[in-house]
């Protein structure tokens, strides 16, 4: 019986889709299915997929429904106990499926596995994705303390039944993954495969690059859902509370992250002058954030997502329909992210 289905959601995946599929077809371990769901592509993705001659490739097509719908359909369509995630612009390194099988056999009761990922572009790797490195027990403790796990989505291997029982992916806010991680951590073992198994592509058109500002705010909403669960408080819906949480976003850190990401993308594209410009901009304008990042690389503390939960605890208005009142300022206000400012 096969253990693994590799699920690849595709929406206009060219030109990177070819490299993605090639990386799966050339794995050292071959006994798995590749399930590709084309989510209403308008480029040549479907034409390319239909040209691939492999009995392991199963292709489904649907009108445009969005990522979370597609991922949940993958969970339902999978014919194996485990679903390996991969995005259409990323690659699996040759040993990835063998690592997956080895760890599943060692920890068969786990709910999820994840591994390290390297930033990737033009055949080169450029540093490691910042990932929460911890045991299953530590991951649960971190989650119970109110912080979110930093896990690269395309590195994940999901137990299909346990993921569906948790409700699968719940919404399309570009953070559907971290919302699943906290529910998984509180209910099942999450195990780290402490090897680099995925090349996580950096490009200016990726979902994470184009939605960096929205992801930052939406991550706070997921942390809000976690804290609501831990504290036994009924959460408000996204529209009711997101505008209040905008004041918790560290705008300077967001600008820094944008510059660092652009520097890496330009470096991958061999646009060295532009890479130097963005890197120098990050150093000159945000030296504190750069030195903090370097310190983290040296000291290797546990990486987490979110802000200090005490900041939420001081904002009881986040659980009421009343106007937003910040006790630190002693006044009510409406605070919205200025995307023009963030992009500067």
pLDDT of residue 210: 57
Most confident of the following: 123-127, 269-273, 284-288, 317-321: 317-321
pLDDT of residue 331: 38
| Least confident span in 27-41, 218-232, 257-271 | 257-271
pLDDT of residue 328: 45
**171 and 240, same structural domain?**
no
Q: What is the CATH number of the domain that holds 57?
A: 3.90.550.10
Share of the chain above pLDDT 70, in %: 81
**188 and 116, same structural domain?**
yes
Environment class of 218 (CB within 10 Å of its CB; exposed 0-12, middle 13-18, buried 19+): buried
CA dist 267 → 119, 203, 274 (Å): 11, 11, 8
The gap from C-alpha 225 to its chain's centroid, in whole angstroms, comes to 17
**205 and 125, same structural domain?**
yes
**104 and 232, same structural domain?**
no
Most confident of the following: 170-174, 277-281, 313-317: 313-317
Q: Which of 154, 157, 128, 143 has the alpha carbon at shortest distance from 67?
A: 154
State the Rg of the chain over Cα.
20
The angle that helices 176-187 and 67-77 make with each other, rounded to 10 degrees, is: 50
Structure pTM?
A: 0.84
Backbone angles phi, psi at 224, to 5 degrees: -60, -40
Classified as helix, coil or strand, 257 is helix
**237 and 299, same structural domain?**
yes
Residue 203 · residue 90 · CB < 8 Å: no
Q: 10 Å Cβ neighbour count for 215?
A: 18
Of 209, 234, 256, the residue that ends a domain is 209
pLDDT at residue 14 greater than cutoff 90: yes
pLDDT of residue 98: 98
Mean pLDDT over 128-138 rounds to: 93
pLDDT at residue 64 greater than cutoff 80: yes
Q: Look at 327 and 87; give whichever has higher pLDDT.
A: 87
Handedness of CA 229, 234, 240, 244 (dihedral sign): negative
Give tens-digit pLDDT for 161-211. Answer: 999 999 999 988 888 999 999 999 999 999 999 999 999 987 666 555 555
Mean pLDDT over 100-125 rounds to: 92
pLDDT at residue 342 greater than cutoff 60: no
pLDDT at residue 128 greater than cutoff 90: no
**170 and 42, same structural domain?**
yes
Output the six-digit token pair for 140.
């649960």
CA distance 322 to 299: 43
Q: 10 Å Cβ neighbour count for 163?
A: 24
**219 and 158, same structural domain?**
no
**249 and 148, same structural domain?**
no
Range of the domain at 112: 4-209
Mean pLDDT for the chain overall: 86
Q: Is the backbone peptide bond immediately before 15 cis, with ω within 30 degrees of 0?
A: yes
Backbone angles phi, psi at 106, to 5 degrees: -80, -35
Strands 190-201 and 112-121: parallel
**63 and 170, same structural domain?**
yes
**332 and 190, same structural domain?**
no
Q: Which of 108, 111, 199 has the alpha carbon at shortest distance from 152?
A: 199
**197 and 322, same structural domain?**
no
Of 182, 209, 236, the residue that ends a domain is 209
pLDDT at residue 131 greater than cutoff 70: yes
Give tens-digit pLDDT for 223-236. Answer: 999 999 999 999 99
Q: How many domains does the chain have?
A: 2
**262 and 319, same structural domain?**
yes
Of 209, 225, 259, the residue that ends a domain is 209
């Amino acid at each position: 019986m096969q253990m693994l289905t590799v699920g690849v959601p595709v929406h206009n995946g060219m030109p990177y889709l070819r490299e993605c599929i090639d990386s799966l077809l050339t794995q050292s371990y071959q006994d798995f299915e590749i399930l590709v769901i084309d989510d209403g592509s308008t480029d040549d993705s479907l034409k390319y997929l239909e040209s691939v001659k492999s009995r392991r490739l199963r292709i489904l097509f649907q009108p445009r429904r969005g990522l979370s719908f597609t991922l949940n359909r993958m969970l339902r369509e999978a014919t194996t106990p485990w679903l390996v995630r991969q995005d259409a612009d990323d690659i699996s390194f040759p040993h990835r499926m063998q690592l997956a099988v080895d760890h599943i056999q060692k920890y068969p009761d786990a709910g999820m596995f994840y591994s390290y990922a390297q930033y990737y572009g033009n055949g080169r790797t450029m540093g490691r994705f910042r990932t929460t490195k911890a045991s299953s027990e530590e991951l649960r403790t971190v989650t119970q303390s109110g912080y979110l796990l930093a896990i690269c989505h395309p590195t994940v291997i999901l137990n299909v039944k346990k993921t569906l029982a948790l409700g699968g992916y719940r919404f399309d806010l570009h953070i559907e993954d971290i919302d699943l991680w906290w529910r998984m951590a509180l209910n099942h073992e999450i195990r780290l495969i402490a090897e680099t198994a995925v090349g996580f592509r950096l490009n200016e058109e990726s979902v994470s690059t184009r939605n960096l500002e929205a992801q930052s705010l939406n991550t706070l909403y997921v942390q809000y859902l976690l804290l609501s669960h831990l504290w036994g408080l009924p959460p408000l819906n996204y529209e009711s509370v997101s505008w209040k949480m905008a004041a918790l976003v560290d705008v300077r850190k967001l600008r820094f992250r944008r510059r660092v990401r652009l520097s890496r993308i330009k470096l991958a594209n061999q646009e060295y002058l532009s890479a130097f410009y963005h890197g120098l901009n990050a150093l000159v304008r945000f030296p504190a954030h750069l030195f903090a990042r370097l310190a983290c690389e040296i000291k290797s503390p546990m990486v987490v997502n979110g802000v200090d939960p005490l900041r939420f605890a001081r904002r009881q208005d986040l659980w009421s329909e009343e106007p937003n009142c910040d006790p630190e300022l002693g006044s009510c206000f409406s605070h919205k992210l200025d995307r023009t400012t963030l992009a500067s």
